[in-house]
Amino acid sequence: MERERIALACTKCGARNYRTTKAKKIGVDQQRLALKKFCSTCKAHTEHKESK
Ligand SMILES: [Zn+2]
């Protein structure tokens, strides 16, 4: 299966703290990932969303 490379960016400061991949499903409306992750810039757990 094809994997899409994405970065997870902090929604507060925009720092791209994490890199991951996700399965690419063609023809399926994909939800954007949103995860609570630790941001070293904010020094707190914040929501991180996928960005290219
Ligand atoms: Zn941040």
CATH of the domain at 29: 2.20.28.120
Report the domain count for the chain. 1
Q: Which pTM value belongs to this model? A: 0.77
CA of 26 to the centre of ligand 1 (A): 31
Q: Which residues span the domain enclosing 36?
A: 3-51
CB 52, CB 33: distance < 8 Å = no
Looking at residue 22, what is its pLDDT? Answer: 85
CA of 25 to the centre of ligand 1 (A): 29
Looking at residue 48, what is its pLDDT? Answer: 96
CA of 23 to the centre of ligand 1 (A): 26
Burial (Cβ within 10 Å: 0-12, 13-18, ≥19) of residue 25:
exposed
Looking at residue 13, what is its pLDDT? Answer: 98
Kindly list the averaged pLDDT for each block of 10 residues, start to end, along the chain of length 52. Answer: 90 96 79 88 97 82
Residues 6+ away with beta carbon under 8 Å from 47: 10, 11, 12, 34, 35, 36
